[in-house]
Amino acid sequence: MALTLTSCGGGDSAGGGDNATIRLVAADYGDSADNSSEKYWDELVDAFEAKNPGIRVNVEVHSWNDVDQRVADMVRSGDAPDMAQIGAYADYAAQGRLYSADELLSIPTQADFLPGLAQAGEVHRVQYGLPFASSTRVLFYNKTLFAKAGITAPPKTWAELQQDAQALKAAGAQTPYGLPLGPEEPQAETLNWMLSGGGGYTDNVGSYTFDSDANVKTFEWLRDELVAKGLTNPKPGSTNRKEVYAAFADGQVGMVNGHPTLMRMADAKNVQYGMAPLPGRDGTSAATTGVADWMMAFKQHGHREQVGKFLDFVYQRDNVLKFADQYDLLPVTTTASEAMRADKDNKHLWEFLDELHTAEFYPVSKLSWAPVVSKLKKSIGATVEKNGDPASVLGELERDAEATENSARTQD
């Protein structure tokens, strides 16, 4: 169900100046009516309109299940919203539909974005995607199960992770390590393991590297040293993240890579857990997965000035921090990040915040990424099945990714 927010304001003409109505379509980060993003936007819009009485802001909040499609339908029907806060921006940028960041934002606002996130929002070195919320991944471990298995510290290497998983299994843990490679969101777990093995989705010049030696060896290790030895959930290729998180919150999983939402789930069921950097092949992983959601502004209705004023307000430090606090997410600006790091009430997020500086993000600026990740979701789980062939699966993904990228460049 869409949640539509319409705050009282000034005029609603479609023209320029300070008299216009602008529309935002946004995703809902809440999991119930009580913590819906509707409340955040309602309060923020009221505060903005009080300072800018000529600008009226209408906000529609949709669930993550359909918000991207809703925006796509609006664009296709010829009535794009002025702003959209969704999961991807590159296609719209390539079509010439979006304002660039420097066309919208004041210099201080644009300069305040964390550098890695600002870069992730670029297409052809021009920033169109404005980061809105972010998260990173760390290793969660169940302290109670660790104590029962005689484990005194979280693992720093793959070998230690395997040893700890074996100890957990011997001590009766139902799932020593939770490995979600099912179709819901395997791209995060996949990148976690690629990075910890010295690989990744792309190289330092942005070319796809699915079938690199490092990536192939990573999934061979997962297949042979964790899955084949019964140290994970029985069918990782069909197990989704939500299932693994729920099992961890029920005290059934010894270790899992997770983001801040898992803290709330575990706290709600009084699970005693710890967090640590991701283990790597030979030591702590040099990088972790970063995930960002995006704000973008469409040119269609010509409200550049009004949208710019609103977005400058959205990205003020206190507003960014309030949203991050409310949903246990990470701020996307330097000033808000520094404020979170200085606030002991946010100590539970410091581990994730520290990882943000070295996080690697999905290659969302590549026009091919959406179809590529769609194929990955269907096939990556086969790499760790019995008799699975990582080189073959990753090779096919590489060929498809390269072909899709070449096609997208031609159309661009």
Q: Whole-prediction pTM value?
A: 0.84
Nearest C-alpha neighbor of 25 from the set 98, 74, 88: 74
Answer yes or no: is pLDDT of 410 > 80. no
At residue 328 the predicted structure's pLDDT band, cuts being 50, 70 and 90, is confident
pLDDT for residue 17: 54
| Cα(281)–Cα(258) distance, integer angstroms | 19
Are the C-beta atoms of 386 and 228 separated by less than 8 Å?
yes
What average pLDDT does the structure give for the chain?
Answer: 92
Q: How many helices (H) and strands (E) does the chain have?
A: 18, 13
Find the helix packing angle between 37-51 and 304-314, rounded to 10°: 120
Asked if 330 contacts 318 with a C-beta cutoff of 8 angstroms, the reply is: no
The pLDDT of residue 412: 62
Contacts of 409 (CB under 8 A, 6+ apart): 367
Give the separation between CA 369 and CA 381, rounded to whole angstroms: 19
The two three-digit tokens of residue 187, written as one number: 């791209």
CA distances from 144 to 127, 161, 170, 252 (A): 46, 17, 14, 10
Whether the Cβ atoms of residue 56 and residue 49 lie closer than 8 Å to each other: yes
Q: Residue 9 above 90 pLDDT?
A: no
State mean pLDDT over 378-384.
97
Helix (H) or strand (E) holding 295: strand 289-297
Question: pLDDT higher for 30 or 172?
Answer: 172
User: Is pLDDT at 411 greater than 80 in this prediction?
Assistant: no
Residue 172, number of CB atoms within 10 A of its CB:
9
Contact yes or no for 192/137 (Cβ under 8 A) = yes
Percentages of the chain per state (helix, strand, coil), in multiples of 5 = 50, 20, 35
What backbone torsions phi and psi does residue 332 show, to the nearest 5 degrees?
-105, 0
Q: Is the pLDDT of residue 14 over 80?
A: no
Complete domains list, the chain, with CATH: 3-135+292-361 (3.40.190.10), 138-287+366-411 (3.40.190.10)
Q: Please tell me the predicted confidence (pLDDT) of residue 64.
A: 84
Using one digit for the tens of pLDDT, what is the confidence trace for 49-76? 999 999 999 999 998 878 999 999 999 9
Neighbouring CB atoms inside 10 A of 300's CB total 14
Residues 6+ apart with CB under 8 A from 354: none
In the chain, what percentage of residues exceed pLDDT 90? 79
